[in-house]
A = this chain, B = another copy of it.
């Protein structure tokens, strides 16, 4: 604490990212990264962009990347906003659509960055309790006074909400923005991007960190009707004109355009996930019906924190949240087949 700190700094309650431990032979299943490398075309595009031109500013409008993303979703450039990871896009969205002092709704168990944003941007929160099975009841999100935000699939629960339920939330919030944070949607049934034409209050946020295996490159984006995208551009240009560097722009565009590699990797992860769920169920774990690249699970026999610690000692890093009522659960990222086999073998060993 210092006499120079503003109220915002004094009252900030910063986000704590998952541990980034560098250790040989560590099985890192704690931050929902992709176990496969980025598309070879991405690597090639970055290497090509690595040269003399780095002395020049990147494009502030990022048209080329926005066109690539637009093409991918059958949308136009004007429907696409690009930022430095989906976290930055979320921050700009809070500033652009959630009025200070208004009350927004999000699930009581959700991405732990939302309360951080609500705090820093002075937005009040009506936390909506989940059902007993951790599912979202759409009715509880109707008529939110200041807006709605939730991840789909939700994190860390891994549960997917059907588009019909999302439409109900959209219809019952005609004067509010409903943000659907689709960080994990490529591992699920379908994106709500197909609803953008019909709903002027829908903003979708996605990231290249998970399904495109580019957490290290920092690119996220938002999709919505043009006036929502314009609001985000106005926020960006009031904060930092060029948040995505030349290398990230080049790599991201190549990643988005390499649809076949993306599909191949995503399918592999989904298959490994299904195998992992089956094996864990056999071992007596209660695994929530996941549609993400991670599972959320508990075991009647184990205490969540103790199992987390035991795994860590065995060089297997997963994520544990100390908050009730999820403190008995572990969130485990899906790795490669070999990695998950090592994980399951260890569970068998201690079982």
Contact = CB atoms under 8 A, between A and B. Distances in A.
A135 interface: no
A119 B51 contact: no
Contacts of A95: 6, 8-9
A146 to B, nearest CB: 10
B238 A218 contact: no
B14 A38 contact: no
Contacts of A16: 237
Interface stretch (A241-249, A314-322, A343-351): A241-249
Nearest to A239: B91
A172 interface: no
Given A55-B33, A209-B57, A228-B4, A88 B240 contact: yes
A20 B55 contact: no
Contacts of A238: 12-15, 116-117, 119-120
Interface string A182-221: 0000000000000000001100000001000111111000
A91 B177 contact: no
Interface of A: 1-9, 12-18, 20, 28, 31, 33-38, 42-43, 46-47, 50-60, 84-85, 87-88, 91, 95-100, 116-117, 119-120, 175-177, 200-201, 209, 213-218, 227-228, 230-231, 233-235, 237-248, 251
21 contacts: A4-B200, A5-B96, A6-B98, A9-B96, A13-B238, A17-B57, A18-B57, A50-B50, A54-B251, A55-B216, A57-B216, A84-B84, A84-B240, A85-B242, A87-B241, A88-B243, A91-B240, A116-B237, A216-B245, A218-B245, A243-B243
